[in-house]
Amino acid sequence: MFLLSNFFQALLILSDNKKVSKFILFIFILACSLLSIFPASSQKTSRIKRIGKRSWHCNEPSIAFNPLNQLQILIATNTNHLFCSKNGGRNFRHQKVQSSFGIYGDPVLKYGLNGECFFVHLSRNPEKNWPEWFDCIVVQKSTDHGISWNDGAAIGLNGKMHDKPWIHIDEEINSPYKGSIYISWTQFDKYN
């Protein structure tokens, strides 16, 4: 609205003709009136929907849409919660993902070019104490929209503390690396 007002003020200043000035003023008033009468009809409203009946105390969500089927949505939250929808978010199925490497949060989801989904997260090595138990990043894969996951692969295994992984998949059409997966994370050589 502010930009619209400034635009019409500039037109009024530039116009030397009183008839043109009155016409510009009329158009401005008409535009403002229409914007004030129909603001909600021109904007979509969003709905916030609870996806479970109980509070899972979930945080740090990651959301992924299947590029081959936009009705398929996955949401991962700390520590190992996964919510799957096959109908565009009207309903979600809850499950807990497992890995022999351990799962300890910072979940990140990304669909690949062929509809497979990757779940990247921190590990939790039960044989070590905090903060050393975050000794690797785990990458798991699902080929059935999150119904089942492989055990995953550990990367960055070096005994240092890792935090907040991220994933990127090269989707450039002409890239020689198309489909390649890149994982990044923060590594603390010393914590505290």
pLDDT tens by residue, 32-58:
666 666 555 545 555 666 655 666 577
Q: Are 172 and 178 in contact (CB under 8 A)?
A: yes
Can you tell me the distance from the alpha carbon of 180 to that of 50, in angstroms, rounded to the nearest whole number? Answer: 35
Can you tell me the distance from the alpha carbon of 113 to that of 169, in angstroms, rounded to the nearest whole number? Answer: 8
Can you tell me the distance from the alpha carbon of 77 to that of 59, in angstroms, rounded to the nearest whole number? Answer: 6
The mean per-residue pLDDT over the stretch 121-150 comes to: 85
Q: Where are the alpha helices (DSSP H) in 17-157?
A: 18-37
pTM: 0.70
Can you tell me the distance from the alpha carbon of 187 to that of 138, in angstroms, rounded to the nearest whole number? Answer: 14
pLDDT of the residue at 22? 67
pLDDT of the residue at 142? 97
Partners of 169 in the beta sheet? Answer: 181
* Residue boundaries of the structural domains of the chain: 2-37, 62-188
Taking CA atoms, 109 is separated from 83, 85, 112, in Å, by: 11, 14, 10
Partners of 85 in the beta sheet? Answer: 73
